Structure 1
Amino acid sequence: QRLQQRLRRRQFRRRRSQRKLVNRAELGAPVSVLRFDPIPYPIWRRRMPGWLRTASRPLLRRWLPVEADEHPPDSPQAVTAYLRRWGLAGEDSLPDEKWPLPETVPDAEPRSAPDGRVRLPAQWEPVEAVILAWPVLYPALWDGHAQMVSALSPVTQVVIIVPAPGWSDAISRFLAATMRLTPGIRFLHLPTDDIWVRDYGPLVGYGPDGGRVCVKPVFDPLPHYPQARDNRMARRWAAFADIPVRALDLHLEGGNIWTDGAGTLIVSEQIFHSNPYLSRADVEAKLRAVFDFHKLIVTPRLKREETGHVDLVVRLADAQTVLVGAPGVFYNGGQQRAAADLFRRETNAAGLPYRVIELPAPPPYLNWGVYPIWRSYTNALTVNGRVLVPAFGIPDDRRALAIYRAAMPGYEIIPINCRASVNGGGAVHCLTRDILA
């Protein structure tokens, strides 16, 4: 009898677990929510006890080129060996594409911009260049970056920043294997701490006289990681490009700001969390002192998402069309619903109502059992008639692309593989920095 009772209890537990899986599948949740994907952050440089650093470094060297930014391949043979070692090239011979050594951006101070508020352009305005920080430390991201270069180079200049001059040879040979290299691809030697150039890159707008101005906020969102080179990047680039700089005394990342270029500024609540010693009125006053806008819209931020940025919540397709993640039944359903309802009530600075279009909002998965990963289709980039939309290799990709085509007629919609980059908290928009014409 005891054996029969145990068997019945075991069968009951099995049926109950099966019902849970069926219910989760009906709700659209993945049956497997646990993954062990590479994390595109330099975790070996994170502040940690010395013994842990010593113990973990040899193990990390097996899985990642942890010193590649400081020690680039120094010969064609070393380039080939590196690309093959990390699965970036097969046994076939690589194209013998020798690219000129990149210019080095000097560590110089830029000119100061005159007083006056800066108008940030909308993304659908003409773009002169797009900056990418090449992921030399993260081989899993090379394919996605190559797709972005291929999609962008026919319509704008692509500036690839590298941590050492020798990397231009390896990257150009890798790109030449899949696309035709054009003079519109430019390499710059400008060391950074990481690849998320949207957040620390130059935020360029127009000053009162119509000239270009680079706005430089405070950048230090990751206190446990090195950030000094990222924090200097925009000022070095501005000096190199001879664009004056206007300082913004706020902690603000480029991924947490949208604009329609006509008086509307959109940020998430994260801006108040990033500046805890200032009141909301003080934060808005500092924004108004530097940026030329008439209306500020503040969206919710996603919960249990590290950045809190608005580009993971909403996206402007034009001055009256907002793309948002569809409210789901998962952890951030309330945040997404609140964002959609906010724009259904709101108007832009011209007093015109918004048309709200919902994009799929895939459920999160846990990477390494610790990090919830949120895949957002709003993290896209518009450049000179093209829209680069993140794709994650899931059925929702097709729906998202169809929605973009319907919402943005006249634009070429191009999917970009972001399955690897999303494990670092971002996709196309986070990995690029557009510079207006």
Structure 2
Amino acid sequence: MTVPTLLDKPAARGYRMPAEWEPHAATWLGWPHRESDWPGRLEPIPWVYAEIVRALTRHEVVNLLVPDAKRADFAADVLSRANADMGRVKLWELPTDRSWLRDSGPIFVTNAAGERIALDWRFNAWAKYPDWQRDDLVPAFAAQKLNVPSLQPTHNGHRVVLEGGSIDVNGAGLLLTTEECLLSKTQERNPPFSRADYEQVFADYLGVKKVLWLNRGIVGDDTHGHIDDLARFVGARTVVTVVETNTADENYAILQENRERLESVTDLSGTKLEVVPLPMPRPLIFDGTRLPTSYANFYIANGVVIVPTFNDPADRVALGTLADLFPGREVVGISCVDLVWGLGTLHCMTQQEPL
């Protein structure tokens, strides 16, 4: 379904991007199938996904993309054996390049009447990899299956590239992002977009009234600065941000600056945000590569928050902090020591579908 022309700027018609903690109709996931995403370590990854689906299906539907019928059968077998609620799993066959649906999937906006639009941003594999054409079809596919209008955001005649992991919203007019991801000439998504161009796009399509810009992402981040490894809204005016206490660590200065920025910004009423620190795990190195481990890559579903863990002493601190912030939800740790070898964890692989 194609959205009518009069809705080309959804925010002008009362649409906004809801916060992640607002009610979901479902979570979208893509079944892991690409060996090169987890070189030499793909074998355990389906079982990590099974743990994630098991946790999510206690609370909501999971829409799972599978490349073909053979892998649909394999996925169903793994999920059943892991005791996921298969009555809440919908399998959709669609070939994809990768399985990071946070970035390739649709971003939904809603209005007060409960109507939804699936925003079909262009996806170009983080302006880094040549194979993205199949992933770019995911939003239109999801919109068709859900029978909701689909809209390709444009600005100055340019179809906008945007990944869900590069932004985070509070659902009430604020958006977090980073200069490194959106304004750097490295892995440049939308040349020659400026800060003002992005702010206009966010206002027009997501209902954003104020953009909070942090600087750089964590070391090892393949996306060049995604916000969902740095800082996340957990309430209308509360943000968690990862903090490194080891002054010798490469992330120390980066995260200190971002925390200082957050502590100086205000919401729409001019009130400073509440900034809650999350620890960082100790560096996780595999085959000489530092992996992008971060507790900020959690995912908020209807009755549960799933949190990446790394067999690290800081795991329990992160879980405890998030449990205090989400008293009405289960807070469940998912071991991501294998998953993060793919350079992403829980938030990177999930995309919420709001009610």
**Could you state the TM-score of these two structures normalised by the residue count of structure 2?**
0.87
Q: Which residue does 1:290 correspond to in 2?
A: 205
Matches of 1:434 and 1:244 in 2, distance apart?
17
Partner residue, 1:320? 237
The residue type paired with residue 310 of structure 1 is I
- Give the equivalent residue in structure 1 for 2:222: 306
State the secondary structure of the residue aligned to 2:297: coil
- How many angstroms apart in 2 are the aligned matches of 1:334 and 1:278? 27
- Structure 1: which amino acid aligns with 2:242? G
Give the corresponding residue for 1:133.
30
Q: C-alpha distance in 2, partners of 1:418/1:287?
A: 31
2:272 counterpart SS class: coil
Shift of residue 341 of structure 1?
1.4
How far the C-alpha of 1:251 sits from its partner, in A, is 2.1
State whether structure 2 residue 325 is matched by structure 1 residue 421.
no
- Residue 430 of structure 1 aligns to a residue in which SS? helix
Task: Note closer, same or farther for the CA distance 1:180–1:284 as it changes in structure 2 (3 Å cut).
Answer: closer
Aligned to 1:188: 92
Please state how far the C-alpha of 1:347 moved relative to its aligned partner.
Answer: 1.9
SS at match of 2:29: strand
Alignment CA distance shift 1:292-1:208 (3 Å): farther
Q: Who is 2:119 aligned against? A: 215
How far apart are 1:182 and its partner, in Å?
Answer: 3.3
Match of 1:402, SS? Answer: helix
Instruction: Give 2:139's match in structure 1, choosing from 214, 234, 251.
Output: 234
Deviant stretches of 4+, over 4 Å: 207-210
Percent identical among aligned pairs is 30
- The equivalent of 2:317 in structure 1 is 399
**What is the match of residue 334 of structure 1?**
253
- What does 1:2-41 align with in structure 2 at a 5 Å threshold? none
Equivalent residue number for residue 182 of structure 2: 271
Q: 2:297 aligns to what?
A: 379
Structure 1 segment 352-371 matched on structure 2, within 5 A = 352-369=271-288, 371=289
Change in Cα spacing, 1:128 to 1:350, as seen in structure 2 (3 Å) is: farther
Secondary structure in structure 2 of the residue aligned to 1:130 = strand
How far residue 424 of structure 1 moved from its aligned partner, in angstroms, is: 1.9
Deviation (angstroms), 1:158: 0.8
Query: Aligned equivalents of 2:20 and 2:199: distance in 1?
Result: 22
In the alignment, does 2:166 pair up with 1:256? yes
Q: 2 CA distance for matches of 1:155 and 1:234? A: 24
Deviation of 1:362 (Å): 2.1
Alpha-carbon separation, structure 2, partners of 1:287 and 1:297 = 12
**Cα offset, 1:225, TM superposition:** 3.5
User: C-alpha distance in 1, partners of 2:238/2:334?
Assistant: 22
Distance 2:274 2:218 in 1: 25
User: Do 2:242 and 2:294's aligned partners in 1 also have CA atoms closer than 8 Å?
Assistant: yes
Give how far 1:207 is off. 4.7
Task: Describe how 1:62-141 pairs up with structure 2 within 5 A.
Answer: 110-113=1-4, 114-115=7-8, 116-117=10-11, 118-137=15-34, 138-141=42-45
Please report how far the alpha carbon of residue 352 of structure 1 lies from its aligned counterpart in structure 2 after TM superposition.
Answer: 3.4
Larger Rg: 1
Aligned to 1:436: 354
Aligned to 1:21: none
Tell me the SS of whatever aligns to 1:228.
coil
The correspondence for 2:53, drawn from 130, 149, 152, is 149
Unaligned runs of 5+ in 1: 1-109
Match of 1:129, SS state, is strand
For the Cα contact (< 8 Å) 2:66–2:92, is it kept in 1?
A: yes
Pairwise CA distance, 1:353: 2.5
Could you tell me which amino acid in structure 1 is paired with residue 343 of structure 2?
G
